[in-house]
Amino acid sequence: MRMPTALLALVALATPATASSGDAWETFRQDVATACTALVQEEGDVSVEVNPFGSDRFGAAIVTLTTASGTDRMICVYVKETGTAELTSPF
């Protein structure tokens, strides 16, 4: 029995998407870290802990800034579609 061409096309479209490669995820993490680090406007030691995969639309990171006056923690939200990021005020 032969499947009609339209049915074959529907089956092909219904197959789940494959996951991104390890290299693509590493590039994503580097992009998030770079964008989030660039938002820190004070001098000090900056560390960025990137959530490995984020959500469907966003990347997320915890940004820690250590200065002589203390340590601040902030959340950085990275928009995957545009590559832009925003930083919250310190906790």
- Residue numbers of the domain that contains 74: 43-91
Does the pLDDT at position 14 exceed 50? no
Full-model pTM = 0.76
Does the pLDDT at position 15 exceed 80? no
CA distance 37 to 34: 5
List, in sequence order, every residue forming a beta bridge with 49; answer none if it has no partner. 62
HSE-CB for 73 with a 13 A CA cutoff: 4
Position 23 in a domain:
no
Nearest to 88 by CA among 69, 67, 72, 66: 72
Position 88 in a domain:
yes
Position 5 in a domain:
no
Identify the pLDDT of residue 19: 59
Position 63 in a domain:
yes
CA distance 31 to 41: 18
Position 56 in a domain:
yes
3-state secondary structure of 90: coil
Does the pLDDT at position 50 exceed 90? yes
Longest dimension (CA), the chain: 76
Residue 2: pLDDT band (50, 70, 90) is: low
Identify the pLDDT of residue 8: 43
Position 32 in a domain:
no
pLDDT, one tens digit per residue, over 20-39 is: 788 999 999 999 999 999 99
